[in-house]
Structure 1
Amino acid sequence: MLAVETAQQKDKSVSLDNTSRSGRQASDDLVPSRYAVKVGEIEVLVVSDGVLPISAITMTTNAEPAARAAWQRDMFLPDTFDWPLNAVVVRSGDQTILVDAGLGADPDLHLPQAGRLIQRLESAGIDLASVTDVVLTHMHMDHIGGLLVDGMKNRLRPDLRVHLSAAEIDFWASPDFSRTAMPQGFPDALRAAAARFLVEYRSNLRTFQDECEVAPGVTLRRTGGHTPGHSIVRLSSGGARLTFAGDAVFPVGFERPDWHNGFEHDPEEAARVRVRLLRELANTDELLVATHMPFPSVGHVAVAGDAFRWVPAFWDY
């Protein structure tokens, strides 16, 4: 059962620490920024951290220009468009889990439409002190930046558990950007954010090698590819399933899973991971949510010849 909560309508079936008793959305929000889903007994809230402008070239670095232009026309996209940023709050048993933490605030990158996760959690009535666990798919700045906002750590529990793969921590000790094609300024910003994160949260870290269970029905599994320690989150309860894919999947990756993204540190392995994951999701019919799919990023994967097709779920009011 899917449920949406907007400023006008509130889903009474999803608690998530007073979400259903929430006030209004932030006054500058002109669109819904949170969407509730039930996965068996597990409660899920997809929360938008906003958007950031990315060029089509950055999303398709190995594509022929004509093929890229054709895809843009088919998708009605300009050369530069707003890239969604989604995070997820999960309630399983007595644990409240934040999956990724958004971009935060980096004044050098000038991204005023991003970094809104904290205000939107507050708008949803979610007390940051109620978060027992944070799961990080990887350590790119748009996934850890929200944890680095001034005063954020003081609002979180001292015994907060932050889960991520050991391979990811090892990678950021000396990160390799030689195979990426990021916009100017991002490599330096990513290095700085990762270094600061490891200093501020080292005592909270709970690492794993290949897979770990964070809470009942909530499993974290390392895929690699996008970064060496990139991981996905699998939810399973009462016969229902949902996967949060982090940056394993991008909008163009269904039709052209072989196209590389400029933020991938191992583009060829990232493409192999993408194909394996999309095949698996198409076979299981489970729900998919991903960081950079259009909000609320809830849908299914279908096979389309030699590629795949994204099937958005109908919003349930």
Structure 2
Amino acid sequence: MKQETDMNLHNTSYPVSSGPEELVPSRYALKVGEIDVLVVSDGVLPLPTTMLAHNAAPAERAAWLHDMFLPQDAFDWALNAVMVRSGGKTILIDAGLGSDPNLHLPRAGQLIKRLEAAGIDLSSVTDLVLTHLHMDHIGGLLVDGVKKRLRKDLRIHVAAAEVKFWESPDFSQTAMPQGFPDALRATAKRFVSEYGSQLRQFDETHEIAPGVIARRTGGHTPGHSVVRVASGGDALTFAGDAVFAVGFEQPDWHNGFEHDPEEAARVRVRLLRELAETGEMLVATHLPFPSIGRVAIDGDAFRFVPAFWDY
């Protein structure tokens, strides 16, 4: 893996003056064969630690958090999105949280301003791929003033099963903090209302650009999808919410946002096994930024092997 100082993603390497709140890394560029990839942080989302594994014994969950030097009550989940350039297309994979004042999440929803800081004009984005319609993946498109800056012919790719699910979503197997189900439901409804005419729905797999393929996995939500970028023998999979930080060591633990936790666990194990066998790179929404690494088999479970940062 090699970081590119010139990604050709509209001056992504230009230095940017930032205030003290921006003295953190928020974008990381790499090449996948001949394809340019940029991981961009949307900020962090503080959530209760029970969300990591609501089916695990409290003592086991507490032990994992202790071993990871994490607090026992709540910690910051990363929020990552990805930009890709392939075949003359500029593709954004997921759109971040945006702004929901009712949830009091001021450190999230940073994607739009961080794309601007990277010198990326929203009007240059030709395609958007959504792993699913949870609000931390679509909310950036609902920020005031964003839609008018996007291309009128922007293509938004999403699994048909995902759009169908949000017509009447089922939260019976989730374990979310108070307020989240209502916010998720309202955000998905508003998104489909505002962008429905631009949706390009697919069933199982769909090629967005040369070497960029979305694949429906289900599990987390019925239409949850991952996106694989492949070129010249290299490959990287953006796993969306199929994998969380605890999912390597404890792939059977249920995340509170999973609408079908049992199927989500099966999806997670299949995906991690595939990546362990191929050695391909992994990026996921909620792994610590920039979340680039590989997967190794570790007994009956897995181990995340972070990539060395390349400057």
TM value normalised by structure 1: 0.96
1:310 Cα deviation from its structure 2 partner: 0.4
Indicate whether 1:163 and 2:136 are aligned: no
1:22 Cα deviation from its structure 2 partner: 5.2
Indicate whether 1:69 and 2:62 are aligned: yes
Q: Does structure 1 retain, via aligned residues, the 8 Å contact 2:82–2:93?
A: yes
1:2 equivalent in structure 2: 2
What is the one-letter code of the residue matched to 2:218? G
Query: Which of 105, 112, 115 is matched with 2:109 structurally?
Result: 115
2:290 equivalent in structure 1: 296
CA RMSD of aligned residues (A): 0.9
Q: Among all aligned residue pairs of Structure 1 and Structure 2, give the percentage whose two residues are the same amino acid.
A: 72
1:24 equivalent in structure 2: 17
Superposed structure 1 runs of 4+ greater than 3 Å apart: 21-27
Query: Which of 53, 61, 66 is matched with 1:60 structurally?
Result: 53
Q: State the alpha-carbon separation in 2 of the partners of residues 263 and 13 from structure 1.
A: 37
Q: State the alpha-carbon separation in 1 of the partners of residues 255 and 56 from structure 2.
A: 10
1:165 Cα deviation from its structure 2 partner: 0.2
1:42 equivalent in structure 2: 35
Q: State the alpha-carbon separation in 2 of the partners of residues 111 and 174 from structure 1.
A: 26
Q: State the alpha-carbon separation in 1 of the partners of residues 7 and 197 from structure 2.
A: 32
Q: Unaligned stretches of 5+ in structure 1?
A: 4-10
Q: State the alpha-carbon separation in 2 of the partners of residues 123 and 206 from structure 1.
A: 29
Task: Note the alpha carbon deviations across 1:142-199, whole angstroms, 9 max, x for none.
Answer: 0000000011100000000000000000000000001100001000000000000001
Q: State the alpha-carbon separation in 2 of the partners of residues 231 and 191 from structure 1.
A: 19
1:7 equivalent in structure 2: none
Q: State the alpha-carbon separation in 1 of the partners of residues 166 and 15 from structure 2.
A: 38
1:21 Cα deviation from its structure 2 partner: 3.6
Q: State the alpha-carbon separation in 1 of the partners of residues 133 and 300 from structure 2.
A: 32
**Partner SS, residue 22 of structure 2:** coil
Query: Which of 44, 49, 74 is matched with 1:51 structurally?
Result: 44
Task: Note the alpha carbon deviations across 1:190-239, whole angstroms, 9 max, x for none.
Answer: 00000000010011100000000000000000000000000000011000
Q: Does structure 1 retain, via aligned residues, the 8 Å contact 2:5–2:29?
A: no
Query: Which of 133, 139, 142 is matched with 1:148 structurally?
Result: 142
Q: State the alpha-carbon separation in 2 of the partners of residues 14 and 184 from structure 1.
A: 41
Q: Does structure 2 retain, via aligned residues, the 8 Å contact 1:25–1:120?
A: no
1:26 Cα deviation from its structure 2 partner: 5.6
Q: Does structure 2 retain, via aligned residues, the 8 Å contact 1:136–1:143?
A: yes
Q: Does structure 2 retain, via aligned residues, the 8 Å contact 1:26–1:123?
A: no
Q: State the alpha-carbon separation in 2 of the partners of residues 26 and 85 from structure 1.
A: 20
What is the correspondence of 1:1-317 to structure 2 with a 5 Å cutoff?
1-3=1-3, 11-21=4-14, 23-25=16-18, 28-78=21-71, 79-317=73-311
What is the one-letter code of the residue matched to 2:6? S
Q: Does structure 1 retain, via aligned residues, the 8 Å contact 2:43–2:108?
A: yes
Q: State the alpha-carbon separation in 2 of the partners of residues 139 and 172 from structure 1.
A: 8
Query: What is the count of residue pairs matched by the alignment?
Result: 310
Q: State the alpha-carbon separation in 2 of the partners of residues 28 and 263 from structure 1.
A: 29
Q: State the alpha-carbon separation in 2 of the partners of residues 24 and 298 from structure 1.
A: 26
1:59 Cα deviation from its structure 2 partner: 1.0
Q: Does structure 2 retain, via aligned residues, the 8 Å contact 1:138–1:229?
A: yes
Q: Does structure 2 retain, via aligned residues, the 8 Å contact 1:34–1:296?
A: yes
Q: Does structure 1 retain, via aligned residues, the 8 Å contact 2:6–2:12?
A: no
What is the one-letter code of the residue matched to 1:151? G
What is the one-letter code of the residue matched to 2:179? G
**Partner SS, residue 45 of structure 1:** strand
1:8 equivalent in structure 2: none
1:6 equivalent in structure 2: none
What is the one-letter code of the residue matched to 1:30? L
1:12 Cα deviation from its structure 2 partner: 3.0
Q: State the alpha-carbon separation in 2 of the partners of residues 283 and 12 from structure 1.
A: 30
